[in-house]
Chain A
Amino acid sequence: MPSDLDEFKRQYRRSLEAFIQGDPEPQKALWSRGDDVTLANPLGPPAKGIDRVFEAMDGAAAMVRDGTDLTFDVVSSYETEDLAFEFGLQGGAMRLGNSPDMVRASLRVTTIFRREDDEWKLLHRHADPITDPRPIESLAGSGSVVEE
C-alpha cells in the first residue's frame, strides 16, 4: 500500500516541523506502542519502549524552538508489506538551547516504519549530526587530514 505509506511519510515530515518548533506531540501520535520501539537521538543513549522514547523526545523538543525551513532529502528507501525503511538527511533552521541565534542544523536519519492493523507507525528513528559538510571536525576536535 504505497500510497498509505506516502501519506504517513507526509505526516512524519509535518511532525518534524512541529518538533523543531518545540512540540513533540504530533510525532508522538505517529509512534507504534509496541515494546520494541527504539529511538537513538543525538542527545542521549538509545531509548527502548514507548515511555523512554517519549521521555527522550520531550528532552530533545525542550531544547529546540522557532524551527523553520525543514528539508528532508531521501538517500534511499526500501519497502515490504509490513516494514519500510528510509535513509536521508534532515535539515532546518532553529534556535537551540538558550541561544538566541538561528542556526542551520542537519541530521542523518534512519527511520523504520511498521504497518500495524493496516496503519503505518514509527518503529525506529536513529538520528545523528554526522553529515557530510562537517564529519571529522564534529567528532575529532583535533587537526585531521581527509584523504578523499
Chain B
Amino acid sequence: MDITALVTGRWPYLFTIVLLLIGLYGMLVKQNLMKKVFGLNIFQGAIILFFIVHAYKHGATVPVLDDISGTDPARYVNPIPHGLMLTAIVVSVATTGVALALLIRIYRTFGTIDEKDLLVRLRDEDPQR
C-alpha cells in the first residue's frame, strides 16, 4: 500500500479524517462554549461526509429516478447513505438547537460562555466542591 496510491485514490476519506480532527480539536481545546458547538458541528459534518463519499460512483447521478438513466443501478449513486445522512443532518441540527438553547440559559445565569470563567463562577457558588 504505497502512499501515493493512498492519497490519490482515497483523498476524500483523508479529507474526512482531517475534518474530524479539526472538529475534535475545537471541542476539546477551545475555551469558548460556542466554539465547542462549532467543533461539534464540524465533527458531525465530517462523519456525514464520510457516508456520502462512500456512496459515490463514477459517472453516476443523484439518486432520483429519471428517464435518462432508467433503472440501471450503476447510473445512480447509492441512495441509502444519502437517506441515512438526511436523518443525521436533522439530528445534527436538532442537537445544535438544543446546544444553543443551553448556551443562552448559561449566559443568562452566569454572564459568560467562556469555560474558564464559568468554572470560576461555579466554584464560587458551590462551597463544597
Decide if A and B are genuine partners.
no
CB within 8 Å of A: which residues of B?
none
